[in-house]
Amino acid sequence: MIISEQWLRDWVKVDLTAQEIADCLTNAGLEVDAVEAISAPIDKLLVGKVLTVTKHPDADRLNLTTVDVGEQVLDIVCGAANVREGLLVAVAMVGAKLPNGLKIKKAKVRGVESHGMLCSASELGLEEESSGLIELDEDAEVGQRVDEYLQLDDHLIDIDLTPNRGDCLSVQGVARELKVLADGQYHPLDISPVESSLDQQVSIQLEADSLCPSYLGRIVKGVDQAATTPLWMQERLRRSGVRPISAIVDITNYVMLELGQPMHAFDLNKLDGGITVRLATEGEQFTLLDDSSASLTADTLVIADSAGPIAIAGVMGGADSAIGEGTQDIVLEAAHFTRKAVAGTARRYGLHTESSQRFERGVDPLLPAMAIERATELILEICGGQAGLTARQQCESGLPIKPPVKLRLDRLVSLLGMPLEQADVSSILARIADDVAINEGEWSVVPPSYRFDIEREADLVEEVARVKGYDSIPTAMPRIAPRSQTASESSIGTRQVRQSLVARDYREAITYSFIDAKSQSLFDDETPVKLANPLAENMSVMRTSLVPGLMNALQFNVNRQRERVRFFEIGASYHHDGAQYREVQRLAGVLCGPSKPAQWGVSGTQNVDFYDVKSDLQAVLSLTGHTKPIIFELGTRVALHPGQQAKIVRATSGELINGKVAANGAAQDAVEIGWLGRLHPSLEKHYGVSNVFAFELVLDNALDAEKPVFTPISRFPSIKRDLSVIVDEAVAVSALSFAVGQALGKVLTRVDVFDVYRGDGVGDDSKSVSLSFELRHTDRTMTDDEAEKLMGKAHSVLESEFGARLRS
């Protein structure tokens, strides 16, 4: 909201400069973005009257003029198309310096001397562009300084309002605020009812009175559509950021800026019957003022005649009923539309108007009656015509009700943390509202009709703090009892996880929780949580996995010639849980490029592979100290390479043997904690990358820890034995280790796979696996016979479970 300082001072008298007004508003929560001066004082710029106009003898587009500037008559050459005898203009005399930097000198134009220049609005810094001379009104005095006449000693105050203060989207609203904050002298307009000269009124019907509880309309006949908007009104509109269009449109815009009530004017002769306020029919077509077409939804409130919609309520009028060059009779509209009726409507149709901005935040329900009288008065004054009777339809039950709000002195003092005198609080509340009563330290305040933001006691506490001054509230540190966080032995912290991955040359990334549905569907077929009001098309759903966001970061870096990328992220994913929603904390990572940075000691480049990623995850999972096996099963995720992926599960029974376990029968008694693998070739092509690996863990499942238990070191020697068996190619080598460990129990302290052979003597679909065993008792020395029996048991288990046979 941009407000002219001079216009504001017509409403409220305060002993403050423009910058002090801005500071006062900002300190009270109405943040002022900028204060800009209209123009510096311009010397030798006077009001002149064109006496004569003749053609230049040597130039078709130039005129020779004589201009009276009070004490002298000047000969000036002018090329403006609108110069004419009797015109009052701004004359820059020799020696004047204009706001655009042009300095006026005596000059010869095609052989004729020119003693000054006739100025346009753009040359005075009032407009970006202008097509002719600025035409001053008849009240301008010849010889008067133009900057004084146009009140160029003015400042524009740009206020960035919060959504709850829609009452300040007008000069009247800001003036009321200054009255409260600076205890200024408030001078509202004296708006009297305009006497009707026509016994005619428009028919109004409210079919949606819960959305439009009050609607006023007034016929004005015989208006002069060609009338010129007065210069003072044009200037106030320009300085408020509104482009002057035509007299009637300018007047409705002016009243909106002045009072805060949006208005609209229809061409009476284009209406078919009376006016009806109703909800649109689904799919109903409507042509807007900007000539765009809209297909209306059933929840859109419209103003209609017998033929169809003529305006979207509170947003924009229609082209079919718009005022044009031939308009003589009009219908003025002023209505109260509820915030619910207009909220989201403009955005739904791709519109943003001054009207919708105000109605969405709340407009005073008492304003329509004032606004229609003010607009009628200005139209009759500027455009002439005859005013009819004001038609009003109102539903009292639909109008906002302002119940009294209680404020307790002890509660006020408690929340603000400062002593307050009862008389001071009463004075502040009296400035805010007219209806204030006090009884034994408790005030009862009926909020003004325009203050939609005052609903409860806390709102009145805020009002007192604003008026008193936030800077007057003493600063006090909160009393916080010192306490230390208890270290948990049942889980490891994310800080340890971060340190582990950073030590393995990863970099932590933070990506958006909002992603686009297409990227999400590439990695997961789960239905994501959709946002009701997304920030953008590519941020329309909540992520169910962290990997899509990390892949966007990896792609961004690869496209900028980063060959080696290793990212991880710890964050939440979001899921449907029946009618509710559920957050899951996850650890995810993506990596590509060389497994190690380039160095002189290693020849060639080896890209990262499946086992590099597996090693990184094993390092993280080893922090938990779990003795239950971590099992890497063959995965089936469609987003990953079918031959280079694994599902990670933790067995809930069994023991860890030399850190190696496998997905055999134990996988049925396990909890899934994550996955890893290489991206599917089709996804790598989609992202324009190659050899990319990813992983993801569910932290609640992955990071629960076991308390360490002391196990004494055996004082007895171990026995080592080897066993070579032939098994099918599909059998996982780690499955053999896990099965043997389950069978032999605690006496098996270590098992290693030291050889895998494929080739002659073992068959096409088979392989030879050689295992090394370390056997030991904790309470006595193991004998060779016991060792042989144990090896026989191991062979039997492998034979029965995997069909293994001894290799000769």
Residue 462 in marked binding region: yes
- Residue with more model confidence, 487 or 459: 459
Residue 628, pLDDT above cutoff 80: no
Q: Which contacts of 711-716 are long-range, i.e. CB under 8 A and separated by 24 or more positions?
A: 712/778, 714/776, 714/777, 714/778, 716/776, 716/777, 716/778, 716/779, 716/780, 716/781, 716/782
Q: What is the DSSP letter of 482?
A: -
Can you give the pLDDT at residue 652? 61
CA-nearest of 567, 521, 568, 566 to 544 is 521
What's residue 656's pLDDT? 37
Amino acid, single-letter form, for residue 312? I
- Residue 653: predicted pLDDT: 53
| DSSP string for 106-159 | -EEETTEEE-SEE-BTTTTTS-S--SSB----TTPPTT-BHHHHTT-S-EEEEE
Question: What is the side-by-side order of every strand in the sheet holding 275-279?
Answer: 204-206, 275-279, 301-304, 309-312, 316-317
pLDDT, tens digit, 9 for 90 and up, residues 43-83 = 889 999 999 999 998 888 899 999 999 889 999 999 898 99
For residues 300 and 314, the answer to whether their CB atoms sit within 8 Å is no
Task: Determine the Cα–Cα distance for residues 324 and 425; give it in Å rounded to an integer.
Answer: 54
The neighbouring-strand residues paired with 286 are: 294
pLDDT of residue 572: 95
For residue 721, count CB atoms less than 10 angstroms from its CB and return exposed for 0-12, middle for 13-18, buried for 19 or more: middle
Q: Which of 303-317, 629-643, 668-682, 753-767 has the highest mean pLDDT?
A: 303-317
* C-alpha 23: how far from chain center: 27
Alpha carbon dihedral 19, 21, 27, 30, in 10-degree steps, equals: -110
For the segment 716-739, the average pLDDT, to the nearest whole number, is 87
| pLDDT over 70 (residue 789) | yes
Residue 40 reports pLDDT greater than 60:
yes
Which residue did the predictor score with more confidence, 9 or 652?
A: 9
Beta strands in 352-421 (DSSP E): 386-394, 405-408
What are 376-393's pLDDT values in tens digits?
A: 999 999 999 999 999 999
Average pLDDT, integer, range 584-592 = 95
Give the number of other CB atoms < 10 A from CB of residue 93: 20
- Could you give the CA distance from residue 491 to residue 620 in angstroms, rounded to a whole number? 13
505 annotated to a ligand binding site: no
Greatest mean pLDDT among 104-113, 237-246, 690-699, 733-742 lies in 690-699
Across 679-705, average pLDDT: 91
pLDDT bucket at 659, cuts 50 / 70 / 90: very low
% of the chain at pLDDT higher than 70: 97
Instruction: Return left, alpha or beta for 125; rule: phi > 0 is left, psi -120 to 50 is alpha, else beta.
Output: left
**Residue 556 pLDDT > 60:** yes
256: which DSSP letter?
H
User: What does 209-230 look like in DSSP terms, one character per residue?
Assistant: TTT--EEEEEEEES--TTPPPP
Planar angle of CA 801, 636, 520, nearest 5 degrees: 160
User: Rounded mean pLDDT of 586-596?
Assistant: 93
Residues 6+ apart with CB under 8 A from 477: none
Average pLDDT (666-679) is 76
Q: How confident is the model at residue 658 (pLDDT cuts 50, 70, 90)?
A: very low
Eight-class DSSP state of 193: P
Which whole number is the average pLDDT over 739-763?
A: 88
Evaluate if residue 679 carries a pLDDT over 90.
yes
Read off the pLDDT of each residue in 302-308 and give the average, rounded to a whole number.
93
Q: How confident is the model at residue 651 (pLDDT cuts 50, 70, 90)?
A: low
CA angle 245, 250, 251 (to 5 degrees): 160
On average, the pLDDT of the chain sits at: 89
Gap between the Cα atoms of 654 and 657, Å rounded: 9
The backbone torsions φ and ψ at residue 707, rounded to the nearest 5 degrees and listed phi first, read -65, 135
Other Cβ atoms less than 10 A from the Cβ of 508: the count is: 12
pLDDT at residue 739 greater than cutoff 90: no
* 381 marked among binding-site residues: no
DSSP 41-101: --TTEEEEEEEEEEEETTEEEEEEEEEE-SS-EEEEEE--TT--TT-EEEEE-TT-B-TTS
**Helix (H) / strand (E) containing 233:** helix 231-239
Q: Which has more confidence, 732 or 37?
A: 37
Whole-number percent of the chain with pLDDT over 90: 63
Once rounded to an integer, what is the mean pLDDT over residues 522-536? 89
Tell me the domains of the chain and their CATH numbers.
2-38+155-186 (3.30.56.10), 45-149 (2.40.50.140), 204-398 (3.50.40.10), 405-465 (3.30.56.10), 494-702 (3.30.930.10), 719-806 (3.30.70.380)
Q: State pLDDT tens for residues 465-510.
A: 999 988 888 888 777 877 776 767 777 888 999 999 999 999 999 9
Cα gap 669→654, rounded to integer Å: 10
- Convert the pLDDT of each residue in 175-220 to its tens digit: 999 999 998 899 999 999 999 999 999 999 999 999 999 999 999 9
Cβ proximity of 427 and 433 under 8 Å: no
For 111-154, what is each residue's pLDDT tens digit?
888 999 999 988 888 877 788 899 998 889 999 998 889 888 88
161 has pLDDT over 60: yes
Which residue is listed with tokens 């006020």?
412
Q: State how far the Cα of 110 lies from the Cα of 62, in Å rounded to an integer.
A: 9
110: alpha, beta or left, given left = phi > 0 and alpha = psi -120 to 50? left
The pLDDT value recorded for residue 535 is 84
| Whether residue 654 has pLDDT greater than 80 | no
Q: What is the mean pLDDT of residues 709-717?
A: 84
Nearest to 449 by CA among 482, 406, 401: 401
